[in-house]
Structure 1
Amino acid sequence: MLSVYVDLALGLVVAFLLLSLLVSGLNEAFVRVLSIRSKFLWAYLRDTLDGVGDKSPSWLPASVRGVLLALPFGRDPRPAHSDRPAPAKLGEMPETRTGDSMMNLLYERVREIDHAKRGRTSIADIPPERFAVAVMELAAMENGDITKFLENLRRIDSPLYGALKGVWDSAQGDLDRFRKGVETWFDGEMKRLSMLYKRYVKWVLAVLGVVVTLLFSMDGLEYAKTLLRDNAYRASVAAVAEAGPDAYNELKAQCTGGDPVPCVTEVLSEPALVKIMGQAMVSVSIPAEGEPSVQGNFPMWWDRVSTPSHWPGFLLTYVALLFGAPFWWDVFRRITGIKSRR
């Protein structure tokens, strides 16, 4: 009896794991195609280096709607790509804030790790060590005079001034301590930015979870019932094999075709997961002979989606997908005894 519940749990976990991986894969595809991570980083850098004013509104949207719509499809905060290495001769500090002057100077110092993506930079992560070196290189424009460099940042009203001023005061004039302090500060900013990004991504995953659940019309309760029915059917087939001619006649009576062998073969070759996935809006059938075929199931799919009795099962599936693929992979490992390799 215990094996029945183990089979039920394992079947549900595998189904939720596969659908969660599909949700994560769709999210990753959108992120890569629209360059969301890179845009998120450079929107933050523009706000941090060049500031926000009346004529230069914030590049990093504050609302979820702005991040999901304005950032991917609105103005692109990324600088234009350059395949040339950082110039040996440093640029000059801007006399006034011009909207992207400091950001362009920073990009000059880090573009060795860049490659083009539709004419824009593809950099989505700047190591804290590289950012600290870039700051030191920018300070070299003032002959290494950090105090003068900070004064110029204050003059152009750059938000970077306040952060670097605090780091410089803590370093007490020590350049090595200042560089390490900049690394620590930027690493903390990147962690904060990652947490903010993950908060927005959760909304995307929630929307994709609804889409995947309805697209496959995955009723978790119906799937569990199908798993139990398949288990019971296999048990009856095994009992027939051991019980003799009388039980064979009972199984024969259950099969409409008369001959139970094709009936048993068809049922056992179509597990519960295949049955449920076959009720999606579009399904793929693989016959015993011939090529696989793709067919639309819109009338049957719409009938399932519009039937209130399926909604509790859809809700169960949707809530399960919100836990994410890592959670279900961990549950799968615990059930099967697979040990993780660190």
Structure 2
Amino acid sequence: MLSVYVDLGLGLVVSFLLLSLLVSGLNEAFVRLLSIRSKFLWAYLRDTMDGSDPHGRSWLPARVRDVFTALPFVRDPRPRHSDQPAPAEPGALPEPGARAGDSVIKLLYERVREIDHAKRGRTSIANIPPARFSVAMMELAAGEDGDVDRFLAKLKAIDSPLHGHLKAIWETAQRDLDRFRQGVESWFDGEMQRLSMLYRRYVKWVVTALGLVVTLLFTMDGLEYGKTLLRDNAFRASVTAVAEAGPAAYEELKASCSGGDPVPCVTDTLSEPALVKMMGQALVSVSIPERGDPEIHWNGGLWWDRVTTPSHWPGFLLTYVALLFGAPFWWDVFRRVTGIKPKRSGSSG
């Protein structure tokens, strides 16, 4: 009896794991297609180094709704891609009267663009190591004859928000260049952690929306799926009983197959596990016949009947909540149920 519940639990875990992986894959495809990581980074850098856009709006919206609407589609904060290496001599900050809206960003991009490659004409850089950022700041200060005070004064003159951060670090470092570089590195590392928290909050909402779409697209009723697993397990047990009991149990199996030949009935059931049956109720499904090529089926009528049937909604809710736990959670549960141990690095000797 225990094996029945183990089979049930394992079947549910595998289904939730596969659907969670699908949600994660769709999210990653969405992020890569729209270059979300890179836009997050450069929106933050524009706010920090050059301030708001010409209309007085922050490049990195604080509200998740604005991030969804503005950042991926309306405004692209990334600099234009350049295939040229960084110039030997860093550029100097412009005079206040000649300052453009992205002056400091352009200078920073000049110092880090060696690691860049184009993506629809824009930079694809999605991560700047804190050590590289601090070196870039030192290089920009070198463009002002190595005078950090003069560099900070020009940042203040062009009204760059970066001035306040670097000024505090410079005073804390007691005007020591090496300590100033380390301070800039530590500050930028902390800012990247804060940015990562905002990005995770954004991704959480994306995964929440994708989880709902996947649940409804596949009309995955978790309760119905569990019942199907138990029914298939009972059917396999009856087939085994026929094999062991002989002709006496054959008639009972024949009756369970609507009085027809039980051989095709058994073959169809055993070759179509519960997960395949559930996936076959998606809006679009694929079947593989005994002969010929795979076939694609449009199940619009069946799909709509399932979505609009209230008795399926508790099962949909169960599946949706399960997907919110994420693929790492279900992979860990799968390892615990099956006894798979994680691979350990290093030798034991």
* TM-score of the pair, normalised by structure 1: 0.97
- Length, aligned pairs only: 342
Residue 248 of structure 1 is matched in structure 2 by: 250
**1:311–1:137 Cα change, 3 Å:** same
Q: 1:254: how far off?
A: 2.0
Output the CA distance in 1 between the equivalents of 2:212 and 2:46: 34
Structure 2 gap ranges (5+): 345-349
Q: Which secondary structure does the structure 1 equivalent of 2:6 belong to?
A: helix
Q: List aligned pairs for 1:206-221, cutoff 5 A.
A: 206-221=208-223
Deviations 1:79-110 (A, max 9, x none): 10000000112212121242100000000000
Residue 331 of structure 1 is matched in structure 2 by: 333
Matched, 1:301 2:295: no
Output the CA distance in 2 between the equivalents of 1:280 and 1:55: 46
Residue 89 of structure 2 is matched in structure 1 by: 89
Residue 8 of structure 1 is matched in structure 2 by: 8
Matched, 1:118 2:120: yes
Q: 1:52: how far off?
A: 2.7
Matched, 1:171 2:173: yes
After the TM superposition, which of the residue ranges 276-285 and 260-269 deviates more from structure 2? 260-269
Residue 237 of structure 1 is matched in structure 2 by: 239
Q: 1:56: how far off?
A: 3.8
Instruction: Say whether the 8 Å CA contact 1:257–1:263 is kept in structure 2.
Output: no
List structure 1 segments (4+ residues) > 6 angstroms apart after TM superposition.
Answer: none
Q: How many percent of aligned residue pairs carry the same amino acid? A: 77
Residue 61 of structure 1 is matched in structure 2 by: 61
Output the CA distance in 2 between the equivalents of 1:186 and 1:109: 16
Q: List aligned pairs for 1:17-28, cutoff 5 A.
A: 17-28=17-28
Structure 1 gap ranges (5+): none
Instruction: Say whether the 8 Å CA contact 1:216–1:279 is kept in structure 2.
Output: yes
Deviations 1:28-50 (A, max 9, x none): 11111111111111011000001
**1:53–1:223 Cα change, 3 Å:** closer
Give RMSD over aligned pairs.
1.2
Q: Which secondary structure does the structure 2 equivalent of 1:142 belong to?
A: coil
Q: 1:76: how far off?
A: 1.1
Q: 1:55: how far off?
A: 4.2
Q: Which secondary structure does the structure 2 equivalent of 1:173 belong to?
A: coil
Q: 1:134: how far off?
A: 0.3
Output the CA distance in 1 between the equivalents of 2:322 and 2:339: 21
Instruction: Say whether the 8 Å CA contact 2:53–2:59 is kept in structure 1.
Output: no
Q: 1:313: how far off?
A: 0.3
Output the CA distance in 1 between the equivalents of 2:182 and 2:92: 24
Output the CA distance in 1 between the equivalents of 2:5 and 2:173: 62
Output the CA distance in 2 between the equivalents of 1:169 and 1:6: 63
Q: 1:169: how far off?
A: 1.5
Instruction: Say whether the 8 Å CA contact 1:56–1:99 is kept in structure 2.
Output: no
After the TM superposition, which of the residue ranges 12-21 and 172-181 deviates more from structure 2? 172-181
* TM-score of the pair, normalised by structure 2: 0.95
Q: 1:257: how far off?
A: 6.1
Output the CA distance in 2 between the equivalents of 1:228 and 1:94: 73
Residue 275 of structure 1 is matched in structure 2 by: 277
